[in-house]
Amino acid sequence: MNRSDLTKLFKAKAVSLGFGAVGISEAVRLNEEAVRLQSWLENDFHGSMNYMENYREVRDDPRLLLDGAKSVISFAYNYYNPEFPTSKCGLKISRYASGRDYHKVLKAKLKRLVRAVETQIGQFRYRAFVDSAPIMERAWAVRSGIGWIGKNGNLIISGKGSFFFLAELIVDIELEYDSPATDHCGSCRLCIDACPTEAIVQPFVVDGRRCISYQTIEHKGELDVELASGNREWIFGCDVCQSVCPFNRFSVLHSEPDFIPKETIGKLGKADWSELTKEQYNQIFFGSAVKRAGYEELKRNIKHITDQSDRR
C-alpha cells in the first residue's frame, strides 16, 4: 500500500472501533511544547506529581519511545454522559471515572486496531499509549489536527467538545500527516471564571496544585485546607471548567457500554460515604479509574466535603 492507502486504513479501522476522531503527525521532537512544559515545572505547578519531571527527553521526543518511529497517530474517544455520577447526598465523581477504567478499554481497542491493520499489511513496529507513558498526549492531538488546547488545559474538538479520552500509537510507518489544529477560544474566559479554586492562573496555564482533580486524585497525605476550600462537592476529579465551556454544547451521549455509570454510586447517602469500608470501596469501584485515588485518599476527600457541609 502507498502512504495514502495506509493512512485511510488506519483511520477507517479507528472509526470502526468507535473512536470519535483520529489524526496523524510526523514523529519529531516537540521543541516549543518542551519549553512550555519546562516553564510549568519551574513554577512548581505540578505539585507532588514528580513523575512529570522524569524522562524529559523521552517525553519531548517520541522517537526515543520507539526505534525507527515515523508517525504518531492520535485518537479521541467520547465519554460524555449528561448525568453526573452523583450520590443522593450530592457528592460527585467526575464523568470520566463513572464506568470501567478507560485505560483498559482503550488499550484493548488499540490492540484490536493493530491486529486489524496487520491482517492487511503484515506486522509493523508500534507502541500503544493510553495515559500510560511519558508522552504529551494533548500536544500530539493538536499537531494531528484533532483539536486545540483550551484555556482550561483540556483538548477541545471542534463541533464535539472536550469530553474525550486520548490515546496514541507510535508506528514505524510513514503516513500522510494532518495539519495542526488552531485555537478557537477567542476572548472567552468562562472556564477561568468558573473554576472553584482559581486554578487557571492565566489563559492556558493551570496551577495543578490548586486544581480539584489534582487535590482529590494525585495529591497524597493531608489536604491543604486553604487550597481545597473551594471544593464543596467533588470527591474524585472535577468537571466544572468543562461543563461551562461553550463548545461542550455539541457533546453527545457516548455509545460505550463500559462507560455506563454504576448505579451503586447514586444510592449512597452521607452516612454510607462516611462509613465506607475498604471492602465496600473495592467492591463498588472494582475496575474503575476511581481506584487511582486509593481508599485512604477517597475517605480523606469525603471527610473534607462532609466537614464543609456540616459547617455551612
At 267 the pLDDT is 85
At 284 the pLDDT is 92
- Nearest Cα neighbor of 61 from 26, 107, 110, 111 is 26
At 98 the pLDDT is 84
Return the number of other C-beta atoms located less than 10 Å from residue 125's C-beta.
Answer: 13
Q: Which residues share a beta bridge with 75?
A: 22, 167
- Nearest Cα neighbor of 239 from 95, 90, 91 is 95
Q: pLDDT for 243-269, tens place per residue?
A: 999 999 999 999 999 999 878 888 888
CA distances from 136 to 5, 27, 133 (A): 27, 12, 9
Length of the chain: 312
As a whole number of angstroms, the distance between CA 240 and CA 94 comes to 9
Return the number of other C-beta atoms located less than 10 Å from residue 190's C-beta.
Answer: 15
DSSP letter at 248 equals: G
Mean pLDDT for the chain? 95
At 310 the pLDDT is 66
Instruction: Look up the pTM and report it.
Output: 0.95
At 291 the pLDDT is 94
At 311 the pLDDT is 64
At 132 the pLDDT is 82
DSSP letter at 52 equals: G
At 131 the pLDDT is 92
DSSP letter at 200 equals: E
Q: pLDDT for 35-68, tens place per residue?
A: 999 999 999 999 999 999 999 999 999 999 999 9
DSSP letter at 179 equals: P
Task: Using pLDDT thresholds of 50, 70 and 90, give the confidence band for residue 206.
Answer: very high
Q: pLDDT for 82-128, tens place per residue?
A: 876 677 788 999 999 988 999 999 999 999 999 999 999 999 999 99
| Residue given cell 486520548 in the structure block | 166
Catalytic residue among 61, 131, 172, 183: 131
Nine-digit cell string for 202: 492565566
Task: Using pLDDT thresholds of 50, 70 and 90, give the confidence band for residue 165.
Answer: very high
As a whole number of angstroms, the distance between CA 278 and CA 272 comes to 12
Q: What does the pLDDT average to over 197-224?
A: 96
As a whole number of angstroms, the distance between CA 56 and CA 40 comes to 13
Task: Write the DSSP assignment of 56-99 as a string of letters.
Answer: HHHHH-GGGTSTT--EEEEEEEE---SS--B-TTS-EE-GGGSS
Q: Which residues share a beta bridge with 77?
A: 165
As a whole number of angstroms, the distance between CA 242 and CA 163 comes to 8
CA distances from 88 to 44, 137, 148, 267 (A): 37, 35, 36, 6
Task: Using pLDDT thresholds of 50, 70 and 90, give the confidence band for residue 225.
Answer: confident
As a whole number of angstroms, the distance between CA 157 and CA 39 comes to 26
| Residue given cell 460505550 in the structure block | 256
Residue 131 is among the residues annotated as catalytic for this protein: yes
* % of the chain beyond a pLDDT of 70: 98
At 85 the pLDDT is 64
Q: What does the pLDDT average to over 20-38?
A: 98
